Chains A and B, each alone.
Chain A
Amino acid sequence: MMILITGGSGCGKSFFAEQLCMKQPGQKYYLAAMQPYGEEGEARIRRHRAMREGKGFETVERYTDYASLKLPARCTALLECIANLTANEMFGPDGSVTDPVERVLNGVSAVSKQCEMLIVITNDVGGDGVRYEASTDAYIHAIGQINAVLAERADTVIEMVAGIPLILKGQLKGF
């Protein structure tokens, strides 16, 4: 099954997703799409690592091309997050910009097929009412499109608000 979790900055998405994973038996993988840019990025990654410590996750750092990712066995996986993955697929290190939608969706699909449960964390980036330059605008639209397709494919969709899970689609047993 697939669970999609959305929500703003600092609303408790990661913590909640980990709690869900902890309820699952078997091997757990943390699929990290965030590249450790700079001191702040490293601090965020450290914070997430500390949160996962002792929870039995194996971390797989993977910034692009989830379509070819092979997980060793059927498992529970937590993919964090669509905003980072989309940026990685869209903006090349050489300054090139390509449409990321298909690659992100195919990647999530490929991972999902290998999982008993896949939890995907995303963000609602279209909500600040600011006009950006063209490539950022395209990025916002791409994430919106990706979120809509993932929500359709997901069994359960949750929006986190101040640490409270709001169920937008499907069910969540035990919560």
Chain B
Amino acid sequence: MILVLGGVGAGKKAYVNSLGYEDADFTSDPNDRKPVFAGLDAYIRENPTDPEELLRALVKKDVVICAEVGSGVIPLERADRVYRETVGRLCVRLAKEATAVVRLVAGIPVVIKGNV
């Protein structure tokens, strides 16, 4: 599994397309059989889930895409703080399981773990 990170609009999807995955390969349902899970950040915000169960489903994917949401001022709302931290901690665990981690910066893929 390759974990693809980066800010909103940093070029994560275009990068995954460049690896040979077409739009039809993308899904936002972790239990779908399509190879690319896109939008882990939005999924966590919208679906209160058991992180263990989610992790088990996601490690089976070819690619997991998640926006980095942990920077900036600590949000006033508790739910926003919990959300940021949940996304961050799940990414730490996914990165550990991943064969490669790629971070997009202004459209440039920076490989921070393994090889792609």
- Give A residues with C-beta under 8 Å from B: 7-12, 40, 83, 123-130, 132, 136, 139-140, 161-164, 166
Cβ contact within 8 Å between A125 and B71: yes
Contact (A8, B101) CB under 8 Å given A163-B92, A164-B95, A164-B112: no
| B70–A8 touching, CB < 8 Å | yes
User: In this assembly, does B84 line the interface, its C-beta being within 8 Å of a C-beta of chain A?
Assistant: yes
Seed contacts A9-B69, A125-B71, A127-B7; 9 additional CB < 8 Å A-B pairs: A9-B71, A9-B84, A10-B88, A11-B91, A125-B72, A130-B73, A140-B73, A164-B95, A164-B112
Interface range on chain B (Cβ under 8 Å from partner): 20 to 34
Give the nearest-CB partner of B3 in chain A.
A162
Q: Does B45 contact A (CB under 8 A)?
A: no
Task: Decide if A83 touches B91 in the complex (CB within 8 Å).
Answer: no
Q: Which residues in A have their C-beta under 8 angstroms from that of B73?
A: 125, 128, 130, 132, 136, 139-140
The answer on a CB contact under 8 Å between A162 and B101 is: yes
**Interchain CA distance A164-B68 in the complex, whole Å:** 14
A12, closest chain B residue (CB): B92
Minimum CB distance partner of A140 in chain B: B73
For the complex formed, measure the closest distance between the CB of A16 and the CB atoms of chain B, giving whole angstroms. Answer: 10
B103 at the interface (CB under 8 A from A): yes
- From known contacts A40-B81, A161-B68, infer whether A9 and B91 are also in contact, taking CB-CB under 8 Å: no
Q: Are B74 and A83 in contact (CB under 8 A)?
A: yes
List, sorted by A's number, 15 A–B pairs whose CB atoms are closer than 8 Å.
A7-B70, A8-B84, A11-B70, A11-B91, A12-B88, A40-B78, A124-B72, A125-B73, A130-B72, A139-B73, A162-B5, A162-B92, A163-B91, A163-B93, A164-B112
Contact of A128 among B71, B87, B96 (CB under 8 A): B71
A175 to B3, CA, bound (A): 21
For window 58-82 of B, CB contacts with A under 8 Å fall at 68-74, 78, 81
Knowing A40-B81, A162-B5, the reply to whether A9 touches B70 (Cβ < 8 A) is yes
Q: CB-nearest residue of chain A relative to B82?
A: A40
Given the complex, which residues of B lie within 8 Å of A10, measured CB to CB?
70, 84-89, 91-92
Question: What's the nearest-Cβ distance from chain A to residue B63, in Å?
Answer: 15
How far in angstroms is the closest Cβ of chain A from B100?
A: 11
The answer to whether B113 touches A9 (Cβ under 8 A) is no
